[in-house]
Chain A
Amino acid sequence: MGLKSDYLREVKAFQPSPSYAANAVKAFLVGGTLCALAQWLSDWYGGVFAASPLAAQLWASIVMAGLAIFVTAVGKYDDFSQFAGAGATMLIMGLANALASAAIEHRSEGWTAGVAGQMFKAGGASVIYGLIAAYVLGLVWP
């Protein structure tokens, strides 16, 4: 029994246990609603502009990402993702939020070292892993 494990056992009784079920339900409801909204947008583009299904889905994603950047710029996305958890962060909107919030946050450090340099601080990992996976697989895929 080291000091560290003793301590962890002692403080356990005083830590609030995270409500897994409630968090998952909130993520489910918010994530699902946003996806249904994107589906409606995609249908609308397909109907009004006669866009191909693929282009309509890209348009819907772009509009939702733009919405996320706007809400981030207004400063409300943090409250929203505090409530929705993964329902807000694990969508493409979450990637837009990660880039936009990092860009705005580092504004005071200048445009090059701050905004452009730090933009991928939080969202870079997912873009970079995905890009490497797609590029390498694309080179070797028969």
Chain B
Amino acid sequence: MEYVRAFLAGGVLCAIAQLVIDRGKWTPADVAGSLVVLGVLLGFGGVYDRLAAWAGAGATMPLSGFGYWLAKGVMAEPRPEGLIETGAAVFRFAGALFAFIVAGSFAAALICKPKG
């Protein structure tokens, strides 16, 4: 059942994004940025916690999930205080993903030549 919920949530988010790209005036990069910011806003509001509890990876795998990790780093206990702790807390969870993607992309460029 949780796979069905993940499928539905992730699928609906992607379908909406596709419709906005096709019908609206936004470029895919605009939509991607908006999804991340939406995830941050809903993450701070506490809405995304409930969505993630319901849909699991259906909520955390879309780009809004990346925004949710950013927000969750700040909202998770113990809450950060001040400029330094907040700046570090943003990367508490999202940093795990971010560092892996950056290092992985560099490694891919080390090994591979462009194709096609």
Contacts and interface: CB of A to CB of B under 8 A. Distances in A.
Instruction: Give the bracket for the number of chain A residues in contact with chain B.
Output: 35 or more
The binding surface of chain B is classed by DSSP as helix
A69 B57 contact: no
Contacts of B11: 27-29, 31-33, 35, 87
A96 B104 contact: yes
A103 B12 contact: no
A127 interface: yes
Contacts of B55: 35
Contacts of B86: 135, 138-139
Contacts of B17: 27, 86, 90
B98 A86 contact: no
B12 A20 contact: no
A24 B2 contact: no
B8 interface: yes
Interface in A97-117: 99-100, 102-108, 115-116
Contacts of B75: 141
B15 A25 contact: yes
